[in-house]
Chains A and B, each alone.
Chain A
Amino acid sequence: MRTFEYIRAADRADAVARARRGARFLGGGTNIVDLLRQNVEQASELVDVSRLDGAIRQSDGGGLLIDASVRNAALAAHPLVRRRYPVLSRALLAGASAQIRNMATVGGNILQRTRCMYFYDVEGARCNKRQPGTGCDALDGFNRYHAILGASDQCVATHPSDMCVALAMLDALIHLSGPDGKRSIRLTDFHVLPNASPHIETVLKPGELITGVELPPPSDAVTHSEYRKVRDRSSYAFALISVAGGLALTDGRVTEARIALGGVAARPWRAARAEAALIGVAPTEEAFLAAIREELADAQPLSGNAFKIVLVERTVVALLAALAGAHQ
């Protein structure tokens, strides 16, 4: 690990100004510190943004505003989240460990990097994401955890966050503040697919700070939603796949469906095709299966992860069927 300066940001403007001069933001440090220690990333200055305002409050439009420095554990436990967006609470609690959730911030969670083992192996592996143009050792190597959707021949890594899968399903909006001012962007547009440049992971501009996340008021399908994570051990493991799903029914027909998938792509995957296919149909297992198959039509399994296709299908069907059952 190289030595670096540690500075606690006085306010957001201070943080942005420092980042523009090359400093890196520090949230809970649960990801970036590991990456620095392993020499995957380098920084000469860390500006701590985890102690900026950390509030959760109702927005004017009846949604929820969550400051970026809110800790994952606090967000999961917040009464408004638990009552109105239970899927978010569940997704958060399905991630990492209690200790890590106590440290991790919302901003850091969104920007956590892939867990591809070759990405971490600075000395011994080739990785386009870490060092553009060197190759991708995961393509023919260990890729059990890797993507089946939206990958490229340059990179097949997944985004590992659980929280972001719920945020994608909730139509969350990310608020940013940067040298050029403020802007907002949908979470589903925030992470980008690898294409030819897997080292570019988001639309974030240099110096831009995530200031908060906004959730729209919960729709009917959000009220009836669930998160299910499938992993290699009961806790403290990243998702092989995960599903955030919600369903609204009227007169035995689906009126609103929300499905987001984790562990399948370089970003949390909003299954828009499947959602569209469900509108107006009767909530049967056959219909759910047909819908998710439509979503997975372009799925491209790798040598070690073909099982993910079946796993996504089954998990989505089971989750939606349970939601439909609960409606009745």
Chain B
Amino acid sequence: MTKLQNAIVGGVRAVLGHVPASWLPGGTPDPLIDKRVALGRQQSRVDGPDKVRGAAQFAAEVPMDDLLYAAFVHSTIARGNIADLDVSAAEAAPGVALVMTYRNTPKLGVPPTVGLTNLKAAGNHTLPIMQDPEIRWNGQVVAVVLAETREQADHAATLVRVRYASAPARTRFEEGKNSAYTPESILVERNRLDKGDARRKLAEAAFKVDAVYKTPWENHNPIEPHAATIVWRDGKLIVHDATQMINATAGSLAKVFGLKADEVHVSSPYVGGGFGAKAMWDHQILGAAAAKLAGRPVRVTLSRASMHRLVGGRMRTEQRVALGADAEGRLKALLHHGYGVKPRHSVCDEGFSLTGRSLYASESFDVVQHYVDLDLLANSFMRGPGETPGTFAIECAMDELAHALGMDPIELRRRNAATRDAVSGAPHSQNAMMEAYDLGAARIGWSRRTAEPGSRREGEWLIGMGCASGTFPFTRMPGTSARITIDGNGDAHVASAAHEMGMGTATVQRQHAADRLGLPLDRVTVTIGDSSLPFASFAGGSSQTASLAAAVSAASGKLAVQLMRLAGNDTPLAGLKPSEVEFADGGLRSVDDPARHESFTSILRRAGRSELSAIGESGAPLEILKFSMHSTSAIFCELRVSDVTGEIRVDRLVGAFDCGRILNAKTAASQFKGGMIMGLGMALTEETLLDERTGRIMSTSLADYHVPVHLDVPDIDVLWTDIPDPRAPLGARGIGEIGTTGVAAAIANAVFNATGKRLRDLPLTLDKLI
């Protein structure tokens, strides 16, 4: 991101500083913050029964005649050229229909890159895709084999002979640090922050900590591998995809293949886990190109290994955090410097250095992050990007500071809790992180903790407790729209090209629409997951619920206007303005005189209409530039460490969340717990093993890439403050990613409390403890 962007964002912020808050989105708080019937209740997911019965059709299951199956051949060097390529054996293998290499791949444009400025862009990297013999990372696709069965394709792929001419590759992190680059901005923030002479204040501080924290490369491992069933029909490209970026994928594929926007159709009603992974990578593009070349539909289902080689993950980071405090524990200085791997061809920022800017009211800041450019697969977003590695560093450092001060770690946070944005001075829309701490501390029994490390023991097991803050910014995507249709029975149907990766998108919007329209739940349906539906932006940044809620709310407003117009003069509502009516009991009624009511059916029947639709859009999220809006959490952990083997067993995790109002206790609890389990994986087991000699990922199976198993996952308690955010639709901020943040720090802090050993290098494997 550029200096220009910094200037624009800075300018808008400055202007908004003078705009009255009441003019901005949320200026009049959403009435559904309090008026809730279906919202806030426990609701099972509407997609649940179909998934349990196996009736939900995923991208790799869409039936299609004449289908060919794709297998990929990946490069085994990181940089260089294909010197020799022999596909004759593969072509001659049974069932093979096509072997596609750079020699016969159609000309493909580079997809527009994902970002906030172009909602129809999904590209994760800027490299040409199989257009030339050049190799740019170890694992890049060098050939696509299409065959009548998956097994035949896999076999033929082993017969493709490639000889490479290697060139020197940059694959080593330590060496890459020497030539790291420093971007102007990280997401929408200016990268360098230098406020209040932090270096001097650190030097003069009565208490300080200064340490380096490391987080490894992590790969995505959703249970459903990436998959797409692709067909060209009458010049149009139809992709049944597993994606959290329906429209961005459609828009990008249109650009890549030189098609008009309406010539690409992407459908993705169910996604078996996204977490940032289910985006557009090379496989959809290559699958579509091969389908075009073969003149037959193609199914791509990535193997676990192909997933690891083609789908980027969380970048490796190395972060120095230095904190200076006075004797009362008040932060005088916060320094956060670091390196992360972001190849030049990658477009995804891992903004770990943003974490410390919003959490605490330090007197001064010195923050900047640098990127290491390596010849590797582009990194990408992974649940809680930025804040997940960022909270590990900041929150471990806070724990170290508390220890140095001899102060309870919660008390240290209380003394430094920000009352407004510590950097910009912007007011919080709502923030009750310390209430979350109180809730969580009570639940886990924090008072049982002994401050002295290593002072609790049961047999060979040392017992400890730790806590940490989590944080994730609120975002609302512009351009998300939804259509509400009222049918002749007076039932409502909501439609939007939004995404269901298992988190309950349709379920919660159904609750929302029911309350918004004054209908019982069973009279509302929600349809999502297809690019033919009203435009929605991607599901990312924990923004989908808020964006969609804003769109549904806007659509309902338009619907009320249209209904009033239709109702005309022969209605009990005659003479009222749209602002004087509200939705209730399956129709509209006067706000002042509830007896004046007319049902949807009656209005439609009288007007001779079978149905009525309105589309609403979410609008620009100006509130986030005026207010400091963050979900926050307090994470607690109790664990045991064997003093024989160094094994860690987490006995309890408690997450207390301050995310505005909770819309559905059941789906929210699942989001929080799932996020916390990912945090647990980051803390204890997950690590992509990159062989730096070759730039090759070695941990390409679930046997070698360790995600936590059931036995690693303890009882998890989740709680929430449920305090509404008046600036957010429905009073609710995002909850999808915050669960992951803070967990690794809470665990590492508990390990310190248990053993007196301070581990700053994830994952916390036992060899680091013995």
Report A's interface with B, CB cutoff 8 A.
1-3, 37, 39, 115, 117-118, 120-125, 137, 140-142, 144, 230, 232-238, 240, 307, 310-311, 314-315, 318
Contacts and interface: CB of A to CB of B under 8 A. Distances in A.
B765 interface: yes
Contact of B770 (A141, A238, A310): A310
Interface in B129-182: 138, 151, 154-155, 158
A233 B687 CA distance: 13
Given A235-B710, A307-B767, A315 B645 contact: yes
A37 B151 CA distance: 9
Identify which of B74, B699, B709 gathers the most chain A CB atoms within 10 Å of its CB. Answer: B709
Contacts of A2: 155
Given A39-B158, A235-B711, A307-B767, A314 B645 contact: yes
B712 A124 contact: no
B645 A124 contact: no
A137 B138 CA distance: 16
Interface string B614-628: 000000000000000
B698 A144 contact: no
Nearest to B713: A234
B694 A232 contact: no
A124 B308 CA distance: 14
A117 B698 contact: yes
Contacts of B151: 1, 3
A264 B502 CA distance: 42
Interface centre among A37, A39, A307 (most CB of B within 10 A): A307
Given A37-B154, A311-B645, A311-B767, 7 more contacts: A1-B151, A117-B699, A234-B712, A240-B767, A307-B766, A311-B770, A314-B770
Contact of A233 (B94, B646, B708, B770): B708
Interface string B682-712: 0011000101011010110101101011111
Nearest to A140: B693
B76 interface: yes
A33 B646 CA distance: 35
A142 B689 contact: yes
A122 B645 CA distance: 34
Interface in B57-95: 74, 76, 94
Interface string B434-471: 00000000000000000000000000100000000000
A234 B649 contact: yes
Contacts of B696: 121, 124-125
Range class of the B interface residue count? 35 or more
B275 to A, nearest CB: 20
B327 interface: no
B647 interface: yes
A111 B384 CA distance: 43
B595 interface: no
15 contacts: A1-B151, A123-B76, A141-B693, A230-B766, A233-B685, A234-B649, A235-B709, A235-B710, A307-B766, A307-B770, A311-B645, A311-B646, A311-B767, A314-B645, A315-B645
B644 interface: yes
A232 B691 contact: no
Contacts of B703: 115, 238
Given A124-B696, A240-B766, A310-B770, A234 B709 contact: yes
A302 to B, nearest CB: 13
B684 A233 contact: yes
Given A117-B704, A314-B770, A142 B691 contact: yes
Contacts of A123: 74, 76
Contacts, number: 81
Contact of A230 (B94, B647, B691): B647
Please classify the interface of chain B as helix (H, G, I), strand (E, B), loop, or mixed, using the class held by over half of its residues.
loop
Contact of B709 (A39, A233, A238, A311): A233
Given A117-B699, A124-B138, A315 B644 contact: yes
Contacts of A117: 689, 698-699, 704
Given A123-B76, A315-B645, A141 B766 contact: no
Q: Which of A1, A115, A118 has the most CB of B within 10 A?
A: A1
A49 B645 CA distance: 39
Nearest to A39: B158
B506 to A, nearest CB: 32
Contacts of B460: 318
A140 B694 CA distance: 12
Contact of B644 (A1, A238, A318): A318
Task: Give the 9 A-B residue pairs with the shortest CB-CB distance, closest first.
Answer: A234-B711, A307-B767, A124-B76, A235-B711, A117-B698, A318-B644, A230-B645, A236-B709, A234-B712
Given A121-B698, A124-B76, A314-B770, A141 B691 contact: yes
Contacts of B645: 230, 311, 314-315
A144 B767 contact: yes
A240 B151 CA distance: 34
A226 to B, nearest CB: 13
Interface string B514-534: 000000000000000000000
Contacts of A137: 691
Contacts of B154: 1, 37
Interface in B735-770: 765-767, 770
A236 B644 CA distance: 21
A318 B711 CA distance: 23
Interface in B188-224: none
Given A123-B74, A240-B766, A310-B770, A233 B644 contact: no
Given A141-B691, A314-B645, A232 B698 contact: no
Contact of A124 (B644, B646, B685, B694): B694
Interface string B658-702: 000000000000000000000000001100010101101011010
B426 to A, nearest CB: 43
A238 B645 CA distance: 15
A3 B154 CA distance: 11
Contacts of B685: 232-233
A245 B269 CA distance: 54
A181 to B, nearest CB: 38
Nearest to A122: B158
Contacts of B74: 123
A81 B628 CA distance: 64
B39 to A, nearest CB: 38
Nearest to A317: B644
A3 B155 CA distance: 9
A252 B701 CA distance: 49
A232 B765 contact: yes
Indicate the member of B685, B694, B698, B770 with the most A CB atoms within 10 Å. B698
Contacts of A124: 76, 138, 694, 696
A293 B316 CA distance: 38
Contacts of A236: 709
A292 to B, nearest CB: 13
B698 A142 contact: yes
Interface in B614-654: 644-647, 649
